[in-house]
Amino acid sequence: MKRTLIALVSLAVAVSAFAAWHVGRHIVIGGTGGWDYTTIDAAARRAYVSHGDRVEVVDVDAGKVVGLIPDTLGVHGIAIDHESGRGFISSGRINMMTIFNLKTNARITDVKTTGDNPDAIMFEPSTKHVFTFNGRGKNATVFNTRGKVIATIDLGGKPEFGVSDGHGHVFVNIEDTSELAMIDANKNVVSARWKLAPCESPSGLAIDRKHHRLFTVCENEIMAVVDATNGHVVTTVPTGKGTDAAVFDDARQLAFASNGQSATLTVIHETSPDKYEVVDNVATQRSARTMALDAKTHHIYLPAAKFGEAPAPTEKNPRPRPPVVPGSFELLEVVP
């Protein structure tokens, strides 16, 4: 009887993992301006959404904005550390990291990064340090949770997203060299650099810590699966146009790639550490290029908005961006 019950439960989990994914809810945020990363605090049921010059705090269960962290010009990413009760924000246009209180959203302090244009940001749990990956600086600034600079790491190229294995290794995509750098978080040095061919211009990155696999999404519409122990590209999987972010759901052994130009979310099943198959391409919305996973519900949240007509090109701005339609910014919640 017990074996039968276990088998039935396993089957139910497998079926739910491959059920038809779809956009189940639109959480309206509104306002104007661009965005980049979203971070989900699954325990507190909060989404921290970058939005131009501020971070919107969203109650994901209630589906509404419940807070605001202002004055984060050119905000890119948000990282959290429950032990210290602090959150960390990277503001690219002012070369700043903001530290805030997770319970109250109150600003604690602002500290300068040691490189220009801090983009992605992450908390590394084994060292309890915060890393900002500085795009134009081509380096990473390492802080403690109080904001003291611990080190600056030369990355030899423009960094994009970074992840940690939880055991002192940090991995970060280097966009302009199409490489993956591995950082020794205890020594704060680059300990390995791996070419990602055939991947071009990698951006988003996710990790399967149990099986030592990295998932890097690339400009040429593929996800490269990389062995985190030696940098070997195990395989590639097709994604879509405008792929910018990747996440991995440990419980369901699913990797996701968000494709902003194709307006799709690619769902990829890890059948084994060396075998992967696309099980769905979910219709989302054009511009839904970044995302975050809610580890409690296993839902995916993607910020998106509608755009108006681009202004006429000028000598100073030959490729002007179309403006966001006021009030159209929202979070798409994709559910199985």
Residue 328 lies in a domain: no
Residue 336 lies in a domain: no
Tell me, what's the pLDDT at 320? 85
Residue 208 lies in a domain: yes
pLDDT tens string 283-304: 999 999 999 999 999 999 999 9
Tell me, what's the pLDDT at 317? 87
Tell me which H or E stretch contains 190: strand 189-195
Residues with Cβ within 8 Å of 243's Cβ and at least 6 positions away in sequence, in order, are 203, 204, 217, 218, 219, 221, 223, 257, 258, 259, 260, 266, 289
Tally the C-alpha atoms within 13 A of residue 332's C-alpha that lie toward its C-beta: 25
Task: Classify the C-alpha dihedral 21-22-25-27 as positive or negative.
Answer: positive
Q: Determine the Cα–Cα distance for residues 132 and 152; give it in Å rounded to an integer.
A: 10
Quick check: 239 pLDDT over 90?
Answer: yes
Sheet holding 159-164, edge to edge: 159-164, 169-174, 179-184, 189-195
* pLDDT, mean of residues 184-198: 98
Cβ(52)–Cβ(35) below 8 Å:
yes
Q: Determine the Cα–Cα distance for residues 203 and 286; give it in Å rounded to an integer.
A: 18
Query: By C-alpha distance, which of 52, 106, 190, 174 is closest to 182?
Result: 190
pLDDT tens string 103-159: 999 999 999 999 999 999 999 999 999 999 999 999 999 999 999 999 999 999 999
Tell me, what's the pLDDT at 310? 85
Residue 169 belongs to a domain with what CATH number? Answer: 2.130.10.10
Residue 307 lies in a domain: no
Residue 12 lies in a domain: no
Residue 143 lies in a domain: yes
pLDDT tens string 96-119: 999 999 999 999 999 999 999 999
Query: By C-alpha distance, which of 47, 46, 49, 11 is closest to 30?
Result: 49
Residue 5 CA to its chain's centroid (Å): 37
Tell me, what's the pLDDT at 15? 46
The total domain count for the chain is: 1
What is the pTM assigned to this prediction? 0.93
Q: Determine the Cα–Cα distance for residues 156 and 334; give it in Å rounded to an integer.
A: 37
Tell me, what's the pLDDT at 6? 47
Residue 125 CA to its chain's centroid (Å): 17
pLDDT tens string 3-62: 544 444 444 444 455 668 999 999 999 999 999 999 999 999 999 999 999 999 999 999
Tell me, what's the pLDDT at 20? 87
Q: Residue type for 211, please?
A: H
Q: How far is CA 62 from CA 46, 48, 58, 66, 212, in A?
A: 10, 14, 8, 9, 36
Quick check: 318 pLDDT over 90?
Answer: no
Tell me, what's the pLDDT at 3? 52
Residues with Cβ within 8 Å of 284's Cβ and at least 6 positions away in sequence, in order, are 23, 258, 259, 263, 264, 265, 302, 304, 332, 334
pLDDT tens string 76-102: 999 999 999 999 999 999 999 999 999
Reading phi first (left if > 0) and then psi (alpha if -120 to 50, else beta), residue 83 is in: alpha
Q: How far is CA 284 from CA 13, 167, 288, in A?
A: 24, 35, 7
Average pLDDT, the chain: 94
3-state helix, strand, coil in the chain (%, to 5): 5, 50, 40
Tell me which H or E stretch contains 237: strand 233-238
Residue 198 lies in a domain: yes
Residue 172 lies in a domain: yes
| pLDDT band, very low/low/confident/very high, at 160 (cuts 50, 70, 90) | very high
Domain that holds residue 96: 39-282
Q: Which single residue is written with the structure tokens 């060299």?
A: 177
